Structure 1
Amino acid sequence: MRPRTYRLCRAARRRPCHTAPSAPGQDVVRAEVRLWLVDDDGIDGEEPMPAVLSYTATEPYAVTLTYHATQWEFSRELLAAGVAVPAGIGGVLVKPAWSDADGEAGVVMVLQAEPEAGCVVQWWTPAGPVQEFLRRTCALVPLGAEPVQPGLDDAIARLLSGPGEAGI
């Protein structure tokens, strides 16, 4: 079953997205994306909102979406899954969606600030820049290869090794 189709103003879609390269040795990936507000009638064809997706190897499970003075932090795995199939529960949902204008693949992010109060914002963005951003994060830290937490494995090993060996 194909996800819901959203209308997108063809002229607004032609503005380029930019995926900023990380400097050599840097553990950060950033991508500038455009977000279109989604309402009951579909995608708002007005000017898109500029936003930034960011990822850092020191927080390997999370991505951050920043627009205006608002930041949403959520799972990189959720974003990766949501490009292909609806994913997430609770405060952040991500799902694939296509534009009516030309069938361009996109991603809808549903951000629920206060789910019980009905405060929900939906953004549509082209899938290409999101996929490129994810590809670059995976080049830095592959999905599934994230460290549990620096030092956590050593701490658990010390605890499990016994009083004599752990120095407890």
Structure 2
Amino acid sequence: MALKEKVTFYNELELNRYVHNLIKKGEYIIQKYIESRTKENQPFDIRVHLVKDGKGKWSFAKIYPRIGFNYGTITITRKGGYVGNITGFLQRNFPDVETNILINRIKDLSIKLIVQFERLYEENLSEAGLDFAIDNKDASPYLIEINVNKPGIIYYEFEVARNLIQYSKYLALQNKKSGY
């Protein structure tokens, strides 16, 4: 089923009424609009796939851009979207930004966010996919969403499996030490 975009134009008074009616109906989250587009004006996000390692710490399985072809959606690969290499993608689309600094910023932010997110739950997490938008204006990364436990591994199954096997061994040793 294809999504169809509906475009509606409002003058200032109509927009004020529309927003007022939405607020009366319930609670909403409003966020800053982030322009996250390639040089060809395609939408993109950055997926950071984290898995626990053999020491029970978060490690990076893969970081890659996901590029869509519709105006406002990141499209899955089987529907025409595609993925790329993070370094080349950032160099091409953000030539005025030091690529390694931006990648390290994304990594640091990913670890901080997942550690905080994990504290919200009693259940242990072993795997997470964090999706970031990169603002075209200042190359700042913004979290879009966090997907946990099986966020998808189409092109890098080995990297995920290698870490998760080590994490499984770590958990088994922890349980053995605890007497389980």
Query: Under a length normalisation based on structure 1, what TM-score does the superposition of the two structures give?
Result: 0.29
Q: Which structure shows the bigger proportion of residues in helix conformation?
A: 2
Higher relative contact order (CA 8 A, sep 6+): 2
Q: Which structure shows the bigger proportion of residues in strand conformation?
A: 1
Query: Under a length normalisation based on structure 2, what TM-score does the superposition of the two structures give?
Result: 0.28
